[in-house]
Amino acid sequence: MTTAREIMTAQPECVATDDSLALAAQQMRRLGVGALPICGPDQKVKGVLTDRDIVVRGLGTGKDPGQTNSGSFNDGAAVTIGADDPVDELLDVMIEHQVKRLPVIDGSKLVGMVSIADVARNLSHPDAGRLVDALSMA
């Protein structure tokens, strides 16, 4: 049984809840990623901020990226998966919540991120296809 830990990208960097959208965008550019987990002062995952969030929900609504905090983009409880949870459960969670990137936690500590690309690189074609099909229909 393959687990989330086996396919995740390890050691992700967080954007802090009080970091500006501008800082988050610079961090994404530096890391070459399109999403960052949002972490609170307690280092627990609060959500995920995407480049699309910054553009559509930030700039597109007239928010100042230098004055808008990343934490304001939390949409409630963060959707996560346990590091030792099976990939079938991981796929189900991604499909149910219609997310393309999923933080991986061990206890309450962030240990990785799983993206559609991680799924495609590491799982069988039917599993990856099931995820892509489900997410592209939304």
| CA 108 – CA 7 distance, rounded (Å) | 19
pLDDT in tens, 92-136: 999 999 999 999 999 989 999 999 889 888 877 677 677 777 777
Residue 137 pLDDT greater than 70, yes or no:
no
Check pLDDT > 90 for residue 1.
no
Average pLDDT, the chain: 90
Q: Could you tell me the pLDDT band of residue 33, with boundaries at 50, 70 and 90?
A: very high
Structural domain range at position 87: 4-136
Measured distance CA(128)–CA(100) in Å, rounded: 12
Total domains in the fold of the chain:
1
CATH number at residue 33: 3.10.580.10
β-pairing, 109-115 with 9-10? Answer: antiparallel
Residue 89 above 60 pLDDT?
A: yes
User: Which range has the worst mean pLDDT, 4-13, 75-84, 125-134?
Assistant: 125-134
Structure tokens at 72: 């304001």
